Amino acid sequence: MPGSANPSPHPAGGAEADGYRHMPERITSLDELARRLPGLVVTDDMRRTARRYPFAVTPYYLSLIEVPDPSDPIFRQCVPDPGELIENPELSADELGEFTRYSPVPGLIHRYPDRVVCMTTVFCPTYCRHCTRKRLVGKPAGEPTSAVLDAHVDYVRSHPGIKDVILSGGDPLTLPDERLEHLLARFRDIPSVDILRVGTRAPVTLPSRIDDALCATLEKYHPVWLNTQFNHPRELTPQAATACDRLLRHGVPVSNQTVLLRGVNDAPETMEALCRGLLRVRVRPYYLFQCDPVAGVEHFRTPVARGVRILEHLQRALGGLGVPRLAADAVRAGGKVPIGPSYVLGHKNGRLVMRNADGETVTYPDGPSDCSAGPAAPSRDPRPAAPRRNPPSPPG
Ligand code: SF4
């Protein structure tokens, strides 16, 4: 197995220093932000917000801001907003139960039988203000130790039903290449693991991180898939397109998981432009998630009906390749649930009565209900059957 001979459990390196290695010039203070965004007034509430939930943004992502206020979809995603301090007594910091009910090892989530999510770091290039794990990211004390990552690998090795390992965080691409490679190698060394996935926003907020060296590393441990999170068409810059292209050329399929965010992308036309733009750079629109109901993101949340309306628009406007699945993560660790418009109106006289994309009522003759015989039993001999001497007459 490539890389499996690496003798060191985890290459040396302070966690915090590692976290910042790829982003030495990022902006982490609101005073510096105000210097870079003329016209921005930093309020006490913004400072309180940044004290509760860390602030950092890459110069690249900051450069995408056109208007220095929350009407700008890029500004809204990266600049602290006092809305983050809204207290909703019904929401806990871990409303999804990620790190309680389904976490057999600290930082590892085993919610579905065949896959696990491994939190490999708490650092990210930019701290998204809508982040589901905002209570954890950017806080060095929470950085997983080598022993914790060892425990992740041991857990996966001792559970052969796990076929899919998702490296998440924080952003795993903040790890230095050698640490990332070491983790990939150890998971790839487990015979029962089929695929490795990397969840990262680096193509969006730090596309320069997707360089040839990184892609060559990922390529050594195929099949490796990458999920990212473009939320607005303005994020699809030439640099981002180059990053995606580089990944694809190294055989890493790139899928997009958009979060539906109030004031960022909650208009059907915006989402259509995003999905069309993703297709142009060969990134598959995979999921459109309702914003998770966790503390600190209440001002980003939208009614489910808005997500359904946007999905209906996408289904009318785009071919199936460009339409993501709309889903909500149910609270109390209920898992992802697909949601969408209902096109089935009922059954009548053996026909399914439906509404089509134009709003017309249409029907479909249902298949025979007597399926008791089931599908034909598979042949014991996998070779193609020899032609019959007397083929049966065609039906009818
Ligand atoms: S990159 Fe991901 S983990 Fe990091 S702050 Fe953004 S959404 Fe959260």
- Supply the pLDDT for residue 342: 87
Lowest mean pLDDT among 52-61, 332-341, 372-381: 372-381
Q: State both tokens at 26.
A: 């990022």
Instruction: Report which ligand 1 atom has the smallest distance to the Cα of 199.
Output: 2
- Supply the pLDDT for residue 97: 64
Q: Report if residue 222 sits inside a domain.
A: yes
**Which three-class secondary structure state does DSSP give residue 303?**
coil
**Where a domain ends, among 298, 315, 338?**
338
Distance, CA of 364 to chain centre: 36
Residues 349 and 238 reside in one and the same domain: no
CA of residue 357 to ligand 1 center, whole Å: 35
Is the pLDDT at 390 greater than 70? The verdict is no
Residues 204 and 303 reside in one and the same domain: yes
Residues 319 and 353 reside in one and the same domain: no
Instruction: Report which ligand 1 atom has the smallest distance to the Cα of 130.
Output: 7
Is the pLDDT at 65 greater than 90? The verdict is yes
Residues 305 and 354 reside in one and the same domain: no
Q: Report if residue 21 sits inside a domain.
A: yes
Catalytic (active site) residue 128: yes
Is the pLDDT at 395 greater than 50? The verdict is no
Residues 36 and 108 reside in one and the same domain: yes
In tens, the pLDDT along 108-121 reads 999 999 999 999 99
What domain range is 104 assigned to? 15-338
Q: Report if residue 296 sits inside a domain.
A: yes
Is the pLDDT at 1 greater than 80? The verdict is no
User: Ligand 1 within 6 A of 127 CB?
Assistant: yes
Lowest mean pLDDT among 8-12, 99-103, 173-177, 275-279: 8-12
Catalytic (active site) residue 276: no
CATH number of 110's domain? 3.20.20.70
Q: Report if residue 386 sits inside a domain.
A: no
Residues 119 and 253 reside in one and the same domain: yes
Catalytic (active site) residue 164: no
Q: Report if residue 253 sits inside a domain.
A: yes
CA of residue 273 to ligand 1 center, whole Å: 23
Residues 253 and 350 reside in one and the same domain: no
User: Are 127 and 134 in contact, with CB atoms under 8 Å apart?
Assistant: yes
Q: Count CB atoms within 10 A of the CB of residue 199.
A: 22
Residues 347 and 241 reside in one and the same domain: no
As to burial, measured by CB atoms within 10 angstroms (0-12 exposed, 13-18 middle, 19+ buried), residue 184 is: buried
**Which three-class secondary structure state does DSSP give residue 291?**
coil
Cα angle, residue 230 at apex, residues 32 and 329 outer, rounded to 5°:
110
User: Are 209 and 239 in contact, with CB atoms under 8 Å apart?
Assistant: no
What is the torsional sign of CA 185, 187, 192, 194? negative
**Which three-class secondary structure state does DSSP give residue 329?**
strand
Q: Report if residue 227 sits inside a domain.
A: yes
Residues 163 and 276 reside in one and the same domain: yes
Q: Report if residue 316 sits inside a domain.
A: yes
Residues 330 and 351 reside in one and the same domain: no
Is the pLDDT at 340 greater than 70? The verdict is yes
Q: What is the mean pLDDT of residues 160-167?
A: 98
Distances (CA, A) of 107 to 96, 117, 127: 14, 8, 19
Return the percentage of the chain with pLDDT > 70, whole number. Answer: 84
Q: Distance between the two ends of the chain, CA-based, in angstroms?
A: 57
Of the pLDDT bands very low, low, confident and very high (cuts 50, 70, 90), residue 228 is very high
Place of tokens 């052969």: 160
**Where a domain ends, among 298, 316, 338?**
338
Nearest CA to ligand 1 atom 6: 128
In tens, the pLDDT along 15-36 reads 344 445 567 789 999 999 999 9
Catalytic (active site) residue 301: no
Alpha helix ranges (H) inside 23-120:
30-36, 44-52, 59-62, 73-78
pTM: 0.87
User: Ligand 1 within 6 A of 131 CB?
Assistant: yes
CA of residue 373 to ligand 1 center, whole Å: 51
Of the pLDDT bands very low, low, confident and very high (cuts 50, 70, 90), residue 341 is confident
Instruction: Report which ligand 1 atom has the smallest distance to the Cα of 259.
Output: 7
Smallest CA-to-CA distance from 8 within 192, 166, 181 is with: 181
Q: How many domains, the chain?
A: 2
**Which three-class secondary structure state does DSSP give residue 112?**
strand
Q: Between 104 and 18, where is the model more confident? A: 104
User: Ligand 1 within 6 A of 201 CB?
Assistant: yes
**Where a domain ends, among 296, 322, 338?**
338
Residues 233 and 362 reside in one and the same domain: no
Q: Report if residue 9 sits inside a domain.
A: no
Residues 288 and 365 reside in one and the same domain: no
d(CA 327, CA 308): 10
